[in-house]
Structure 1
Amino acid sequence: MIANGKAGSVPKIEIRGLTKAFGRKQVLRGIDLDVSPRESLVVIGGSGTGKSVLIKCVLGLIEPDSGSIKVDGEETVGLHGEERERVMRKFGMLFQGAALFDSLPVWENVAFGLMSADGVGRHEAKEAALRNLAAVGLGPEVGELYPAELSGGMQKRVALARAIARKPEIIFFDEPTTGLDPIMADVINDLIIKCVGSLGATALSITHDMASVRRIAHRVAMIHEGRIIWQGPVGEIDSTGNAYVEQFIHGRAEGPIKMPVRPL
């Protein structure tokens, strides 16, 4: 389990009244959410409920329509240019599909941010990349391969090595175990715990995988129709008394969550 943050500390991420619509579709409807320093918060919810939009707003990839997103107490909504870059320096990201550059060898993928954003020379960057690959259980020979030569699990490991390469203070995980078999998924969960813990980082994840939730989360928040409908310690997720949470975590077709299905 990732080391938890201290109670009463200033939130690492503080979200208030966050809204976002795309045309007539209201995706976020007033999100309030805190993530404490060194805490691992996992956001769960069905497809299309706003999980990915929430993370993209925090990352600054999408501008919210209204609301506040503070990082270390600093308002980040509306930041651009150098001010946005300064905040982004605190972030690391593991994308759902790994999002590796096919044309670059693995070590350059891992070192991409070090070279492009931090100006680190190729020799030093390669050494750092190999250290980060070792941290996720991959040898130096993997650094010379290309992403197409890797299995899905290895690609996830490389993506994790890239996410931690710049020693971020906050790491975002977008469906980190999607597409992996249960054993490899557990390996990735273990590596997330290890890597985030060794950095003393804060983690904000979104996932459908309840096994992953139970392994990596301190707290869980469930989003439904653009609102947080429950949040609490992961140990309380089986006794919430919330019909939406119970239906989701047990994967039941019957319940208050209605999935849109087109007739055949």
Structure 2
Amino acid sequence: MTSVPKIELTGVHKAFGPKVVLDGIDLSVARGESVVVIGGSGTGKSVMLKCILGLLRPESGSIRIDGEDVVGMGPKDRDRIMKKFGMLFQGGALFDSLKVWENVAFGLIQGQKMERAKARDIAIEKLAQVGLAASTGELSPSELSGGMQKRVSLARAIATNPEIIFFDEPTTGLDPIMADVINDLIVKCCKEVGATALSITHDMASARKISDRIAMLYKGRLIWVGPAKDIDHSGNEYVDQFIHGRAVGPITMELRA
């Protein structure tokens, strides 16, 4: 018997007026798997993520989490499903008015109504998991470097031991060495909490490192899905141009037209 996918999109369509952004997305992510969606700016990666999170509602298609269709789900059931999710936002999205440990513990205190002392202990533990000292917890986000802020964001994403973690451009704004450190931490943390991961990125070094499978989104459709190790031999000229960052190719020709 085949196990139920952790995340399953079937025939998902989303448009804004006449502009079709998602044009029939089919994607399945198995329990414990890490899938990365790549594609150029404006191809619909963030819209797809927002549809899964329930921030946007697709015009048609189904989005299933553990077999439950979440499209059109009522507020009570939606809240229950949302408790399964953790999120690392592009740019970190830390709260400047809160200390680092309060940022990490935000979901525990606000979402789970946990006592602050207990939530702080968990926050310090999660900071340690991403290589930050307990003393960092007393700082404000503005006192941290970009790489440290990203680590704090990752600690917050795993603080509630989520079943599913979404990564939105996790290495944006980082130098190549710090980006590699963050990629290693993502792999480590996902294994430690046993999470299923769905990421969107332009960064091919990151995509190769953190994924089991890669999918490429182009013009609202997934034009290639396969194991990360096979992407260099995809046989798809659009994928080949994108992963090697070539200025000349079918994508550029269409842009010029």
Give the TM bin, normalised by the shorter chain.
over 0.9
Confirm whether residue 18 of structure 1 aligns to residue 21 of structure 2: no
From 115, 120, 126, the equivalent of 2:114 is: 120
Displacement after TM superposition at 1:9 (Å): 2.3
| Separation in structure 2 between the aligned mates of residue 82 and residue 177 of structure 1, nearest angstrom | 34
| Separation in structure 2 between the aligned mates of residue 224 and residue 80 of structure 1, nearest angstrom | 31
Which amino acid counterpart does residue 137 of structure 2 have in structure 1? G
* Residue aligned with 2:197, SS: strand
* Residue aligned with 2:71, SS: coil
Displacement after TM superposition at 1:62 (Å): 0.8
Which amino acid counterpart does residue 110 of structure 1 have in structure 2? V
* Per-residue CA distance 1:11-37 (angstroms, 9 max, x = gap): 100100101111111100000000000
| Separation in structure 2 between the aligned mates of residue 225 and residue 173 of structure 1, nearest angstrom | 21
| Separation in structure 1 between the aligned mates of residue 217 and residue 2 of structure 2, nearest angstrom | 24
Structure 1 runs, 4 residues or longer, greater than 6 Å off: none
| Separation in structure 2 between the aligned mates of residue 202 and residue 8 of structure 1, nearest angstrom | 17
* Per-residue CA distance 1:31-70 (angstroms, 9 max, x = gap): 0000000000000000000000000100111111111000
| Separation in structure 1 between the aligned mates of residue 180 and residue 155 of structure 2, nearest angstrom | 17
| Separation in structure 1 between the aligned mates of residue 89 and residue 111 of structure 2, nearest angstrom | 19
| Separation in structure 1 between the aligned mates of residue 4 and residue 77 of structure 2, nearest angstrom | 21
* Residue aligned with 1:166, SS: coil
From 45, 49, 57, the equivalent of 2:51 is: 57
| Separation in structure 1 between the aligned mates of residue 115 and residue 158 of structure 2, nearest angstrom | 18
1:255 aligns with 249
RMSD across aligned C-alpha pairs, in angstroms? 1.3
| Separation in structure 1 between the aligned mates of residue 119 and residue 3 of structure 2, nearest angstrom | 35
From 194, 198, 202, the equivalent of 1:208 is: 202
2:162 aligns with 168
Which amino acid counterpart does residue 68 of structure 2 have in structure 1? E
From 77, 98, 104, the equivalent of 2:98 is: 104
Q: Give % identity.
A: 66
Which amino acid counterpart does residue 245 of structure 1 have in structure 2? V
| Separation in structure 2 between the aligned mates of residue 122 and residue 34 of structure 1, nearest angstrom | 38
| Separation in structure 2 between the aligned mates of residue 261 and residue 111 of structure 1, nearest angstrom | 48
Which amino acid counterpart does residue 245 of structure 2 have in structure 1? G
Confirm whether residue 84 of structure 1 aligns to residue 81 of structure 2: no
| Separation in structure 2 between the aligned mates of residue 244 and residue 261 of structure 1, nearest angstrom | 15
* Residue aligned with 2:105, SS: helix
* Residue aligned with 1:257, SS: helix
Which amino acid counterpart does residue 220 of structure 2 have in structure 1? G
How many corresponding residue pairs? Answer: 256
2:133 aligns with 139
| Separation in structure 2 between the aligned mates of residue 241 and residue 117 of structure 1, nearest angstrom | 46
| Separation in structure 2 between the aligned mates of residue 260 and residue 238 of structure 1, nearest angstrom | 24
Q: TM-score, normalised by structure 2?
A: 0.97
| Separation in structure 1 between the aligned mates of residue 93 and residue 74 of structure 2, nearest angstrom | 24
| Separation in structure 2 between the aligned mates of residue 207 and residue 18 of structure 1, nearest angstrom | 20
* Residue aligned with 2:114, SS: coil
From 179, 184, 194, the equivalent of 2:188 is: 194
| Separation in structure 2 between the aligned mates of residue 180 and residue 127 of structure 1, nearest angstrom | 29
Displacement after TM superposition at 1:91 (Å): 0.3
Displacement after TM superposition at 1:8 (Å): 3.6
Displacement after TM superposition at 1:256 (Å): 1.0
Displacement after TM superposition at 1:260 (Å): 4.1
| Separation in structure 2 between the aligned mates of residue 156 and residue 24 of structure 1, nearest angstrom | 37
Displacement after TM superposition at 1:81 (Å): 1.4
In structure 1, stretches of 5+ residues that fail to align are 1-6
